Amino acid sequence: MARLYILAIGGTGSRVLKSLTMLLASGLKPNAEKTYEIVPVIIDPHEDNKDLKRTTRLLSNYQSITREIGNDRGFFGTSILTLDKLSNSQHRLTGNFTFNLQQVANSKYKEYIGYNQLDEANKALAEILFSGKSINKRGEAVDLLDIEMDIGFVGNPNIGSVVLNQFKDSEEFKVLSSNFDSEDRIFVISSIFGGTGAAGFPSIVKNIRNAKKGNEGFLRNAKIGAISVMPYFNIEQDDDSPIKRSDFISKTKAALHYYKENVTGNNTINSLYYIADDFIGSPYQNDPGDNGQKNDAHFIELASALAIIDFMEIQDLDLETIDGKAVKPIYKEFGIRKDTDTIKFEDLEDYTEKVLSLPLSKLAIFKKYINENLKDSVEMKSWSNEEPTINEKFLESPFYRTYLIEFLDSFQEWLHEMSENNRSFSPFHLASELDAMIVGKTIKKGFFESKVDYHTFNDMLNKRSQKYISKGETFPNAASKFINLFNDTSEELLISKYGIRK
Instruction: Based on DSSP, count helices (H) and strands (E) in the chain, helices before strands.
Output: 18, 12
Closer CB to other proteins, 386 or 409, in the complex = 386
> CA-CA distance, 338 to 458, in Å (whole number)?
37
Smallest separation, CB 436 to other proteins (Å): 21
Task: List contacts with other proteins (CB under 8 A).
Answer: 379-382, 385-386, 455, 458-459, 462-463, 466
**Cβ contacts of residue 326 below 8 Å, gap of 6+?**
224, 267, 268, 269, 270, 319, 320
CA distance 133 to 118: 21
Minimum CB distance to other proteins smaller for 286 or for 373: 373
Residue 227 CB, shortest distance to other proteins, in Å, is 46
Task: State the nearest-atom distance from the C-beta of 468 to other proteins, in Å.
Answer: 12
CB of 428 to other proteins, least distance (A): 24
* Residue among 313 and 372 whose Cβ is closer to other proteins: 372
127/386 with CB nearer other proteins: 386
- Return the sign of the alpha-carbon dihedral for residues 335, 330, 38, 149: negative
Residue placing its CB nearer to other proteins in the complex, 328 or 463: 463
CB of 191 vs other proteins, minimal distance in Å: 49
User: In angstroms, what is the minimal distance from the CB of 393 to other proteins?
Assistant: 15
Q: Which is nearer to other proteins, 253 or 463 (CB)?
A: 463
Give residue 322's region: left, alpha or beta (phi > 0; psi -120 to 50).
beta
Q: Which of 59, 63, 130 is nearest to 98 (CA)?
A: 59
Q: Which is nearer to other proteins, 145 or 374 (CB)?
A: 374
Nearer to other proteins, 348 or 461 (CB): 461
How many angstroms separate the CA atoms of 284 and 87, rounded? 39
Buried b (16+ CB within 10 A) or exposed e, 241-267: bbbebeebeebbeebbebbeeebbebb
Residue 462: CB minimum distance to other proteins, A:
5
Instruction: Provide the greatest CA pair distance for the chain.
Output: 88
Q: Which one, 73 or 455, has the nearer CB to other proteins? A: 455
Q: How far apart are CA 187 and CA 224, in angstroms?
A: 6
Q: Go through 113-145 and write b for each residue having 16 or more CB atoms within 10 A of its CB, e for each that does not.
A: bebeeeeeeeeeebeeebeeebbbbeeeebebb
Closest contact distance (angstroms) between CB of 439 and other proteins is 27
Tell me how long the chain is.
502
Shortest distance, CB of residue 457 to other proteins, whole angstroms?
A: 9
Nearest to 161 by CA among 115, 125, 109: 109
Positive or negative torsion for Cα 312, 317, 319, 323: positive
Nearest to 14 by CA among 48, 38, 49: 49
- CA 213 to CA 221: how far, in whole Å? 10
Q: Quick one: which of 426, 411, 428, 192 has its CA closest to 299?
A: 426
